[in-house]
Amino acid sequence: MVLFHAPNEGRTGRLFPAAVRHQPRRLLLCIPYCKVARKGGNAWLSWLGKYSLYIYILHVPIAAIVRNLASHSGIVFNSWVLIFTCWGLGVTVPILLYQLLTRFGFGKLFSLKNKPAA
């Protein structure tokens, strides 16, 4: 049974799928990340993690709105530019929207906590 075959790779191409053959390269990419993590360079991930629920809830509608606005406004985007624009705005806009709404007292829209009965 041939799982993967690429020209000029000899017998290893037939024995191992591409994911297994490239595993050592992926492990080497983890070494710099671990060094950064030990020095506390991942504080931004912790900050972003506080907003993960709001990003999860709002990223699809926001990306759809951005895509529709781009396509109906006549702006011709390269598909990669559109993907990265939707991704970037799908992460940043929910954070900004949450901060704005909580500042004006609408934070309860993002919470399931019940207020105690008076």
Interval 63-109: pLDDT, tens: 999 988 888 887 766 788 888 888 999 999 999 999 999 999 887 88
Residues 98 and 59 in one domain: yes
Find the helix or strand (DSSP H, E) in which 6 lies: none
Residues 15 and 37 in one domain: yes
Residue 30 CA from chain centroid, whole number: 18
Number of domains making up the chain: 2
Residues 20 and 59 in one domain: no
Residues 33 and 74 in one domain: no
pLDDT at 38: 77
Does any domain span residue 80?
yes
Token pair 């809830």 is at which residue?
A: 57
Give, as one character, the DSSP assignment of residue 16: S
Average pLDDT score over the chain: 77
CA angle 97, 103, 107 (to 5 degrees): 70
pLDDT at 88: 93
Is residue 29 scored above 90 in pLDDT?
Answer: no
Domain with 106, as residue range(s), is 43-110
Residues 14 and 30 in one domain: yes
Q: Which two tokens stand for residue 17?
A: 């799928």
